[in-house]
């Protein structure tokens, strides 16, 4: 795989550097801190999001270096002390990171990455971690909605040309593949990340020839095993489909090739696909499939299928790669605890008038609780790091807001979501291949109830706190005079 050669060390908000300089000068640089990455609301009102971007976080951490050019640049800002700039020369990440594997369904309020590191290091990486996890989780979440709307029909990601910049295109294509897209039009995403690249043709190909038929026939001759003919340049039913049928019959059938496709890219896709299907079948081309594109998203795809469209696969660009309907994934990076000199973990909370912005303090772990009878996920339970759930004992879950709503579960399996990625600065995690991530993502989504997967008004999946964590949180709220 081609490596991304860019050093992103200075891709940080400037305040990370002023705080780092400040910790350095006040002797706080080595105080151990715990930060959580979590998000507050699921884009598009969905029931869950999909975590993605961990592999790029790993690359970033491993390449974290201030080179001489960076240091000279920072010196030119006349903000940082010389001993701090010298310290940056040997700056490396020496801490620990835990994260959920890419492709995991995640829910609001729960950490999907936790960083434990000396203050400067833990604070400094905030910007890049968030931008990477926010972008790819956003696109993975959107792509997965679109893939689910297509109900098993392949969805190709066609968005590079309308993506917001190169990373938007390439890493967006990567995230879309993890989330279930069948492939991408983006060649570099294939070369770099293994999201399979493929495609059809543009209207310009047809316009370049004296007539549509010659354009189709030439393409079939060049690519007999992968000819998808774009049939809407002039008139879909009067010329596009008849010319495609003629080219397929003259070039492919004599070679014994029956698999072929047409692409519809405008007009009423239900009407046109039904008519085209009839024409193809009547010509004996029952194995010719119909691809549809044109500003599609999960809602239009769902509508088309409800209307009885005869579409076998979809190409989806702008609304997927930009997550047009909801272009922000609000992942945040919040301090959850610090260690004192003796290594005791001191939980920290951030209080807000807005209850949804009050953080969950402490160094935590997250369990996903599966009901053994159905295999389905019932709830996630956020615990203090040293708590262990014993599945042989009944487990009491309760709503952290309405604490009188309680339920005792038995016959369950508890799976820890956060796995070690770095330990004392050393990478201890081997990222699965992208196809493994994609398969894992699909399997994990299968473990969610259909109610959680609804596009509108999904069931609110339970993200609960253990009694111990709830008590600690409420103690801190009391100490702060909030309750």
* Footprint of ligand ATP (CB under 6 A): 266-270, 294-296, 300, 303-304, 307
> Of 199, 473, 412, whose CA–CA distance to 317 is shortest?
199
Give the integer Cα–Cα distance in Å for 20 and 31: 12
Q: Please report whether residue 158 would count as binding ligand PRP according to CB under 6 A.
A: yes
Q: Pick one of ligand PRP, ligand NIO, ligand ATP, none as the site partner of residue 267 (Cβ within 5 to 8 A by kind).
A: ligand ATP
Q: How far is CA 237 from CA 242, 248, 256, 268, 408, in A?
A: 7, 16, 26, 12, 61
DSSP classification of residue 295: S
Joined tokens for residue 223: 């690519």
Nearer to ligand ATP by Cβ, of 67 and 303: the residue is 303
Q: 179 and 103 in contact (C-beta within 8 Å)? A: yes
Give the integer Cα–Cα distance in Å for 377 and 230: 43
Joined tokens for residue 252: 């492919």
Neighbours of 478 (CB within 10 A): 10
Q: Pick one of ligand NIO, ligand ATP, ligand PRP, none as the site partner of residue 304 (Cβ within 5 to 8 A by kind).
A: ligand ATP
Neighbours of 50 (CB within 10 A): 27
Among 65, 92, 161, 405, binds ligand PRP (CB under 6 A): 161
Q: Please report whether residue 183 would count as binding ligand PRP according to CB under 6 A.
A: no
Nearer to ligand NIO by Cβ, of 121 and 157: the residue is 157
Q: Please report whether residue 298 would count as binding ligand PRP according to CB under 6 A.
A: no
Joined tokens for residue 232: 């809407």
The CB-nearest residue to ligand NIO is 199
Nearer to ligand NIO by Cβ, of 56 and 313: the residue is 313
Among 318, 326, 339, 416, binds ligand PRP (CB under 6 A): 318
Nearer to ligand NIO by Cβ, of 134 and 184: the residue is 184
Number of residues located near ligand PRP, criterion CB under 6 A: 15
Options 214-222, 292-300, 322-330, 412-420: segment touching ligand PRP (CB under 6 A): 292-300
Q: Please report whether residue 317 would count as binding ligand PRP according to CB under 6 A.
A: yes
Write each residue from 130 to 169 as x if it is in contact with ligand NIO (CB under 6 A), else as -, in one continuous string: ----------------------------x-----------
SS3 category, 115 = strand
Q: 199 and 154 in contact (C-beta within 8 Å)? A: no
Q: Pick one of ligand PRP, ligand ATP, ligand NIO, none as the site partner of residue 323 (Cβ within 5 to 8 A by kind).
A: none
For residue 290, list its beta bridge partners.
262
Residue 148 Cβ vs ligand ATP, minimum distance, rounded to whole Å: 18
Q: Which residue has the tokens 């050669």?
A: 5
DSSP classification of residue 110: S
Q: Which residue has the tokens 């990625």?
A: 421
Q: Pick one of ligand PRP, ligand NIO, ligand ATP, none as the site partner of residue 425 (Cβ within 5 to 8 A by kind).
A: none
φ/ψ of residue 117, rounded to 5: -165, 165
DSSP string, 263-331: EE-SS-HHHHHHHHHHHHHHTT-TTEEEEE-SS--HHHHHHHHHTT---SEEEE-HHHHTTTT------
Residues that bind ligand PRP (CB under 6 A): 158-159, 161-162, 202, 265, 293-296, 315-319
List residues near ligand NIO by CB under 6 A: 158, 185, 199-200, 293, 315, 317
């Amino acid at each position: 795989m081609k490596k991304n050669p860019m050093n992103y060390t200075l891709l940080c908000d400037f305040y990370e550097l002023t705080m780092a300089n400040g910790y350095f000068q006040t002797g706080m640089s080595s105080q151990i801190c715990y930060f959580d990455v979590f998000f507050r609301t699921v884009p598009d009102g969905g029931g869950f999001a999909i975590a993605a971007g961990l592999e790029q976080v790993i690359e970033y951490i491993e390449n974290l270096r201030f080179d001489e050019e960076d240091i000279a640049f920072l010196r030119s800002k006349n903000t940082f002390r010389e001993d701090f700039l010298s310290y940056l020369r040997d700056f490396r990440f020496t801490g620990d990171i835990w994260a959920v594997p890419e492709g995991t369904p995640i829910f609001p309020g729960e950490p999907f990455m936790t960083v434990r590191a000396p203050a400067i290091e833990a604070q400094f990486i905030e910007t890049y971690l968030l931008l990477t996890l926010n972008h790819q989780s956003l696109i993975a979440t959107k792509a997965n909605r679109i893939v689910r709307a297509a109900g098993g029909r392949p969805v190709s990601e066609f968005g590079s040309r309308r993506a917001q910049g190169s990373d938007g295109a390439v890493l967006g294509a990567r995230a879309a593949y993890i989330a279930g897209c069948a492939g991408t039009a983006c060649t570099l995403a294939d070369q770099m990340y293994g999201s399979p690249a493929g495609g059809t043709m543009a209207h310009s190909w047809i316009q370049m020839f004296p007539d549509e038929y010659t354009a189709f026939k030439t393409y079939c001759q060049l690519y007999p095993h992968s000819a998808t003919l774009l049939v809407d340049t002039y008139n879909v039913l009067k010329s596009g489909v008849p010319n495609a049928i003629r080219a397929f019959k003259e070039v492919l059938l004599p070679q014994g090739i029956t698999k072929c496709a047409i692409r519809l890219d405008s007009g009423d896709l239900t009407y046109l696909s039904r008519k085209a299907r009839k024409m193809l079948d009547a010509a004996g081309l029952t194995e010719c499939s119909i691809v549809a594109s044109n500003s599609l998203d999960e809602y239009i795809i769902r509508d088309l299928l409800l209307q009885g469209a005869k579409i076998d696969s979809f190409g989806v660009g702008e609304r997927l790669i930009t997550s047009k309907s909801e272009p922000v994934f609000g992942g945040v990076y919040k301090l959850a605890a610090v260690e004192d000199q003796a290594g005791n973990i001191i939980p920290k909370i951030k209080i807000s008038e807005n209850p949804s912005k009050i953080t969950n303090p402490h160094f935590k772990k997250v369990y996903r609780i599966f009901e053994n009878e159905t295999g389905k996920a019932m709830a996630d339970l956020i615990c203090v790091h040293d708590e262990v759930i014993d599945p042989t004992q009944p487990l009491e879950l309760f709503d952290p807001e309405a604490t009188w709503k309680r339920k005792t579960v038995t016959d369950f399996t508890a799976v820890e979501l956060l796995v070690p990625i770095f330990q004392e600065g050393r990478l201890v995690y081997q990222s699965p291949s992208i196809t493994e991530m994609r398969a894992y993502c699909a399997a994990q989504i299968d473990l969610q109830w259909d109610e959680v997967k609804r596009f509108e008004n999904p069931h609110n999946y339970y993200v609960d706190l253990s009694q111990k964590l709830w008590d600690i949180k409420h103690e801190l709220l009391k100490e702060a005079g909030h309750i």
